[in-house]
Amino acid sequence: MSGMGSKREAMQKSECHRGVQLRNRVTDNCDQKTSSSAQIKHRTTVQQRRSSSSTSSPESARKLHPRPSDKLNPKTINPFGEQSRAPSAFAAIYSKGGVPCRLVHGSVKHRLQWECPPEELPFDPLLITLAEGLRETKHPYTFVSKEGFRELLLVTGALEKAVPLLPRLIPVLKAALVHLDDEVFERGLNALVQLSVIVGPSLNDHLKHLLTSLSRRLRDKKFKEPITTALQKLEQHGGNGSLTIIKSKIPTYCSIYC
């Protein structure tokens, strides 16, 4: 009898031990689940705080609710920001001092300050570099290129300096005239008229390379008037020979002398 009692006591102790182990495992699992749940809640809270802080930052507020003055200011290069792409050829030359003028901000309008009188500057390659800058879309490059091109053509002796550059200058102007950006096209069109005023009939041999892009833009109603005005200027300064060339590419054009 004593032997059987000992066996029962041993079995009871074994079952009791297994019960304690089972309870410990259950407790451990609950603790792990509780810890995991707490970690998830902590991560969610941190993410919400980050999202809230980023949304409430001044930069985010400006993006969501742009200021009225943002519409008045042109797109500007941020010298301290990361650029999404490599700078253009004109931007690289300008930043290295290869364009001998700088933008001066005025209270009413901007102007250029030349390092030396423009009359003393060689047109090759400066005039071509400025023409390449007409394709820029960011400030200050847009202003420097268009105003620099205009002012350089106004110097004494511009005719003799510009005519030899026409074979290299025309492809650059054509690139601006076929550009998808409307403002780039307008700058190219204005530059073409400014060039025709200076070089006159010397431009006629190159007109055919430019008129195709003008003909395409004529389909857009908003460009019909400025292109027509430009064609009239080209005829006026190019003489009789220019009319024949213009009519060959744009048959609907009416001469200013009709």
Q: What is the pTM of this model?
A: 0.68
The DSSP line for 18-32 is HHHHHHHHHHHHHHH
Residue 34 resides in a domain? no
Radius of gyration of the chain from its Cα atoms, rounded to whole angstroms: 37
**pLDDT exceeds cutoff 80 at 26:** no
Residue 53 resides in a domain? no
Q: Domain count of the chain? A: 1
Residue 142 resides in a domain? yes
250's CB contacts (< 8 A; 6+ apart) are 211, 214, 215, 218, 231
DSSP 67: -
Q: 3-state class of 155 per DSSP?
A: coil
Residue 191 resides in a domain? yes
Chain segment 98-151, per-residue pLDDT in tens: 999 999 988 788 899 999 999 999 999 999 999 999 999 999 999 999 999 999
Residue 175 resides in a domain? yes
Residue 50 resides in a domain? no
The values of phi and psi at residue 178, to 5°, are -100, 0
Residue 136 resides in a domain? yes
How far is it, in rounded angstroms, from Cα 215 to Cα 177?
11
Residue 139 resides in a domain? yes
pLDDT value of residue 109 = 87
The DSSP line for 82-130 is PPSSPPPHHHHHHHTT-SSEEEE--SS--EEEESS-GGGS-HHHHHHHH
Chain segment 154-189, per-residue pLDDT in tens: 999 999 999 999 999 999 999 999 999 999 999 999
Domain that holds residue 201: 87-249
In the chain, how long is the greatest CA-to-CA distance? 138
CATH number for the domain spanning 226: value is 1.25.40
